[in-house]
Structure 1
């Protein structure tokens, strides 16, 4: 269940910071009973941005496949990676 707090709770910055870090999810802030802001810890933000970037790359790859771009052979790709990174 999402954490929802009124905007007046932002006065206690230490408590809000601790909350954001402890639940590891965004905290929704309301103003006059309506959604206004979303705040989160930097770790949560970075994780969400990395996930978004991954989804964008997956959508790009799916579009390339749909448009007929040929697939690479997995054995060749992993072989080149091993050579490149000396694994």
Structure 2
């Protein structure tokens, strides 16, 4: 992804807003908006945004799982399965 082709000033956004919104879903790249020469915002279509959020959530779960492994907060799967199977049984 070459972001340098996707950098536009805010004046371009103001003048071409409808066109930009129409074309966002056909691109795989975000549009970077600058103001006074500084990057201020990134625009992307909703499907790409949702995919990014889902990916971030999965990465967070993996990181938390890895932390739990490192902290020794794990149990053998067989023990957990046996406990779940026996949960509703009474002696």
Q: 1:42 to 1:72 in 2, by over 3 A?
A: farther
Aligned to 2:56: 52
What is the aligned length? 77
Q: Equivalent of 2:71, from 64, 67, 70?
A: 67
Offset at 1:73? 3.0
Post-superposition, which runs of at least 4 consecutive aligned residues in structure 1 deviate over 4 A?
Answer: none
Within the alignment, does 1:16 sit opposite 2:27 as a pair? no
CA RMSD of aligned residues (A): 2.1
- Could you say what secondary structure the match of 2:26 adopts? helix
Offset at 1:62? 0.2
Q: Distance in 1 between matches of 2:73 and 2:26?
A: 45
Unaligned runs of 5+ in 1: 81-87
Q: Distance in 1 between matches of 2:23 and 2:47?
A: 13
- Could you say what secondary structure the match of 2:74 adopts? coil
Within the alignment, does 1:30 sit opposite 2:31 as a pair? no
Unaligned runs of 5+ in 2: 85-91
Give the TM-score of the pair, scaled to structure 2. Answer: 0.71
